[in-house]
Each structure stands twice: as C-alpha cells, then as structure tokens.
Structure 1
C-alpha cells in the first residue's frame, strides 16, 4: 500500500480515567522522517478548547514489515495538563483501531541509534496495564510489548 507523503488528518477519541471522561482530538502528520529513516505518524493530542496550546505527543514509526507501528516517542505536554488522564492507553488502542496494525513498544535490550527506549514509568503506567487488561502481550526475550 502506498500512501502520499506528508498528509495531515485528525480523529477524535475518548479517554476515561477516575470516572472522568476526556474528549480529545488527535491530529497527525504522516511523513518520511530522516532521523528514523522511515515513515512516521507524528501526533499532537489536545482538547478542542486547548488546540493552540501545548499538546500531548506521540510518534509511531512504520516498521519495515508494514505490519507494526512502533511507539518511539510518547510525551505529555510541558505543563503536565494531560498527564494522568489515561491518554496513552486510549490513544494506543485508538491507533490500533484506526490504522489496523499492531502497536509495539520500544525495548531496552537493543541500543537504538534513534534514542528510543521504554521508560520504567511507561512500562508501569501504560504497557503493564494493557497486558493486565488482556489487550497486549509482553515478549520477555525481545523486551517488547505488542498490542494486537
């Protein structure tokens, strides 16, 4: 499948955390990135009323097998407004649905020239909960999480 270079799209999704519902917009650009030497989806996530402010960010790298999208960057905004709202898990699951591909984590076994790694906080707050919910598996030999 061939996709046109450098296009931007949006989708809306919901995150629920601690009995609070967050309605969010994910704006993403599909483009070739020379740093990753691959096509990526670069996301800005925000509430509609905060579109012109700082945003939560995610970068998914399209893997060579065309089956996987790898989380290579996942960060809350500078002011931490979006931290603790369940966005990471909701967004990863929505990306799985929208793109129809497996979502995989970075790992800490193989040193990456792209400075990607899986932080202890991401493992605790994102990846392990996905496994506990039965939505992901952990491959110990590869130190990698996979959302099917």
Structure 2
C-alpha cells in the first residue's frame, strides 16, 4: 500500500466507482489566523492510494490525522478507515488505486507553525504519506 499523493482543498468530491474527483481551490498550503488558537471551519483532504496486485484482495485499514509542530494529534481524526481495493480495471498485474476523500471540520490550531495531515496504517505509527499546511498570524 502506497500513498501516491495528498493535497488540501476548500471542497471536493470523489466518485466511488471511478475514483474521479472534483476539487475547489486545491493546493491549500497556507492559512492565516487573526489570533491563536485559530481555526478552519473545514478543509478537504484528497489523495490516491495504490496497492500491490497481491494486496488487492485484502482489506486494509488506515488512520488520517492532523499533527502539530510539537507532535500533538489534533481533533478531528479518522480512525480505522477500511480500504478494499479489488483488482485493477487495467489487469491483474497492474496496481489497483483508490481515491481518499475526507473532510476535516472545526479544526483548531493552538499556535502558528507547520501542521501535517498524514495517513498511517491503522493502529500503528507507520506513516504512508503526508501533506503540510503553514499556519501563520494574520498580518495587519
């Protein structure tokens, strides 16, 4: 199992059957807060996960979380997301892929810094992929 890419957006939607997605304002990597703690009403995390062909018949579980610069895990977090890739439509020897689409709501950033949105194998510390966002004070 491998995270091919992850990115943040204002909004998005993924089609379950095809894995195609629609994104509004994708590529968010900076947010400015007028004071701390500061926050975001919501942010959309989109990614693509691929699997070795021999992993395609198995179920896999992942966690998605936000981590502060000091290593604190912020709420909300997603735990035990089940992924069932099945065989690739391109053939049994090709890597099947799944699109991951998650909405994080009511995020509170305790301070400025670089925060990571990361995907892990469920119940472990094995990180599969991450993307980051810079949280800075609002300049006046």
Question: Do these two structures clear the TM 0.5 threshold for a shared fold by scoring above it?
Answer: no
TM-score after normalising by structure 1? 0.27
The structure whose RCO (Cα within 8 Å, separation 6+) is larger is 2
More helix by share: 1
TM-score after normalising by structure 2? 0.29
The structure whose Rg is larger is 2
More strand by share: 2
